[in-house]
Structure 1
Amino acid sequence: MAELEDKYFKGDLTVEELRELRRQVNATDDDTLGEAMRHRWMDGDLAEDDYTVATRPIWQRIETATRTAGHDWRRRAWKWMQAAAVFLVPVLFFSTYWFYRQEAVSPTGVAIFRTDAGGRATLVLPDGTSVVLNERSRLSYSPAEFNGTSRRVSFEGEAFFSVAKDSLHPFSIRADGLDVRVVGTRFNLFARKGVALSRLSLEEGKVLFTSLASHRQTAVWPGQVAVLDKQTGRISVEQKPEEVNDATAWQRNELVFRNATLRHVIAVMETTYSVKFRFSGRLNMDDIFTGTLPSNNLGEGLEIIRHSYHVRAEQRNGVVTITK
């Protein structure tokens, strides 16, 4: 694969060779891929001028080849992407996302990765940083700027970041109303537009968490959870190791509740399962629930609710009726 990488950066790859490079990337495990990216990053082979020179002729050849080769190949690729339920391409050294330029790269040349409802995806950035995107999330960065001296991404949604260590080049995340700056660490970040609170749960390392509204900056340590009120700019930090573990429950297909009202549980279930709940009979919506529901199986979730509250639950046409 190294020979194909070198040819890529020299602008000498044919379309078939680029396809072969993408195939090898897909077949390579994350650890090996991350290590290769780290070496390429540290060797300084991703200079902006080299990147621009290399990608222009390659993209022109890809544009010509995909126009003349018909639609079969792109249709197969599109079916694969639909099955994965994500708009995501495995990435190596700013390279193969050009294959799906229309799906993954904006007209301004910004690399964009996003997941739809129910989707999830893992990507490895050029510096070796691993990001697991939860559903309805979006991460973007400028390949020309993410070039060995800067590690900045924009983000919206929820994701778990395993940031590659590089003390000389801190990794920064810009999200709605906040900025996160780290050197090497592991954390979960929830930062959705339209949601009043953003939350960072730190598993390992150290994070500088900044409110863009108040310009307040707070250090976050392992086992701590930082919560930002985007309206006031206030940041609160608490030592909650159990919540740090709960924050990554979505990766295990779990919905974890601790002393939550039934009203809150139902609201989360409606969003997660894309259903509506109706109630018949007297049911106390302020009852407290502590437990775990599967995020990918409505039937199992309803079974737990049935046994916990001694109710009947029937589902029809996207509506769940709960009868006491």
Structure 2
Amino acid sequence: MDQEKLYALLAREMAGVLTEEEATVLQQLLQQYPDASYIREVFARNWVPVGKQYNTQQAQLLLEKHQLRMQEVISTADDTALPAKRPLWLLYTGIAASILTILFVGGHWFLSKKSNAPKELAQLVTARGTRSQLLLPDGSRVWLNAGSKLDYPKQFAKNTPREVTLEGEAFFIVTADASRPFKVHTSAFHIRVLGTSFNVRAYPGEDSAVASLVQGSVEVMLDEAGQQVVALRPNEKLTVPVHPPTLNNSTTTTASPQQVMPVYRSKLTPVQDSIITETAWVQNKLAFKHLELEKVAALLDQWYGVEIGFENDSKKQLYFTGVFETESLEQILDALETTLSFKWTKDAAGKIWIE
């Protein structure tokens, strides 16, 4: 390609239409191809006005110069053994091999760039009063509770951890894959698991986050560096205060190497028969046991999507136990009100007030 450009520029030079910019390029090409200077000289000698002829002395000088150049080329060739001519099939084979090599290298580069590209993420969001189920690309199943958000890749890469990010509450049944650990990231902690079923509750605004293990085994990492890790066994849960007072009222749950995050390990909470408060919502049951009315109100808010407020803050510390499945919000409030510990009303805007 450069040689074709060189010949074109030489022709423009001989025609007298070469620009200053083209002249600079031509000089660079002549330095790259020194033998082209001879072609340039021939072009220069032949581009003469019509009717002008060389005299005998000029022709002799040109012939001697050309013979001298040819002698230099021959002497150089004698010192360098030329490779033997290859058969055409061998030439074509070499060309084909070169093409395949280029394709292989190019394909490898493309695939490596593709693997290093950011993962394409999907997101599932549930509004207050709704719940959803999701089948992840690896076959793992997720139940997403009301007012929650799950970010996950549209396709999990091979030989790399399967990672999702949760805000809110979700129940996971993870497909086992030893080569690709499953990780759940929340604002309070990170969970690592190979194959199991567990529940994670980490709503923004709540004073704690909870990881509950039903079966299998999980590791709860309380910091990015993994310096504080808690291993859970089946039927155990880990409660992590979101604003622990021992961290000087810090708004983050990440502990420094000198600090230990205060956590609380306990058993899952059965209410009746096989109903567990931490996972009852997956069966469309609303269950709580000895829970403050303030937190019961938060559950009802998420479950029914209705705002609940307190006109009397002292009522927030009342404790209640209950299991509900098909009842309406009004029926649940009426059932709790039978304890004669509080009264509830609804204003014109539909907001519930506890007094």
User: In structure 2, what is the equivalent of residue 248 of structure 1?
Assistant: 279
Residues in 1 aligned to 2:315 and 2:207: alpha-carbon distance in whole angstroms: 27
* TM-score (normalised: structure 2): 0.53
Match of 1:276 in 2: 308
Contact 1:261 1:285 in 2 (8 A): yes
Q: 1:304 to 1:123 in 2, by over 3 A?
A: same
Is 2:310–2:353's contact at 8 Å kept on the other side of the alignment? yes
1:165 to 1:176, Cα distance in 2 relative to 1, 3 A: same
CA apart distance, 1:196: 3.3
1:289 Cα offset (Å): 2.1
Q: Which amino acid aligns with 1:238?
A: S
After superposition, the Cα gap between the structure-2 partners of 1:212 and 1:248, relative to the gap in structure 1 and judged at 3 Å, is: same
SS for the counterpart of 1:309 is coil
Retained in 1: the 8 A contact 2:128–2:301? Answer: no
1:223 and 2:235 correspond: yes
Q: Choose which of 174, 181, 195 in structure 2 pairs with 1:184.
A: 195
The corresponding residue for 2:161 is: 150
Residue deviations 1:160-185, cap 9 Å, x none?
Answer: 00000112221111211311111110
Give the residue type in structure 2 aligned to 1:136: G
> In angstroms, what is the RMSD of aligned CA positions?
3.5
The answer on 1:258 being equivalent to 2:269 is no
Q: Secondary structure, in 3 states, of the residue corresponding to 2:209?
A: strand
Superimposed CA distance per residue, residues 125-149 of structure 1 (whole angstroms, 9 cap, x where no aligned partner)? 1111000111122222334653454
Return the offset for 1:246: 0.8
Larger CA Rg, structure 1 vs 2: 2
Does residue 164 (structure 1) correspond to residue 195 (structure 2)? The answer is no
Match of 1:118 among 129, 135, 144: 129
More strand by share: 1
Query: Matched residue of 1:111: which SS?
Result: strand
User: What runs of 5+ residues in structure 2 fail to find an aligned partner?
Assistant: 1-109, 243-252, 256-260
* Maintained 8 Å contact 1:293/1:304: no
Cα separation, 2, equivalents of 1:176 and 1:321: 31
Contact 2:221–2:228 (CA under 8 A) maintained in structure 1:
yes
Q: 1:215 to 1:290 in 2, by over 3 A?
A: same
Residue number in structure 2 paired with 1:127: 138
Letter aligned with residue 285 of structure 2:
E
SS of structure 2 residue aligned to 1:251: helix
Q: Distance in 1 between matches of 2:289 and 2:131?
A: 25
1:209–1:238 Cα change, 3 Å = same
1:306 matched residue in structure 2 = 337
Give every structure 1 segment of 4 or more consecutive aligned residues whose post-TM-superposition deviation is greater than 6 Å.
none
Unaligned runs of 5+ in 1: 1-47, 54-106
1:288 aligns with 2:316: no
Q: Distance in 1 between matches of 2:184 and 2:208?
A: 17
Question: So what's the TM-score if we normalise by structure 1?
Answer: 0.58
Once the two structures are superposed, what CA deviation does each residue of 1:66-113 show, in whole Å capped at 9, x if it has no partner?
xxxxxxxxxxxxxxxxxxxxxxxxxxxxxxxxxxxxxxxxx9731222
SS of corresponding position for 1:227: strand
Match of 2:346 among 312, 315, 319: 315
Amino acid at match of 1:216: Q
The total of aligned residue pairs comes to: 221
Following TM superposition, by how much is the alpha carbon of 1:240 offset from its aligned partner in structure 2, in angstroms? 3.2
Q: How far apart are 1:263 and its partner, in Å? A: 4.5
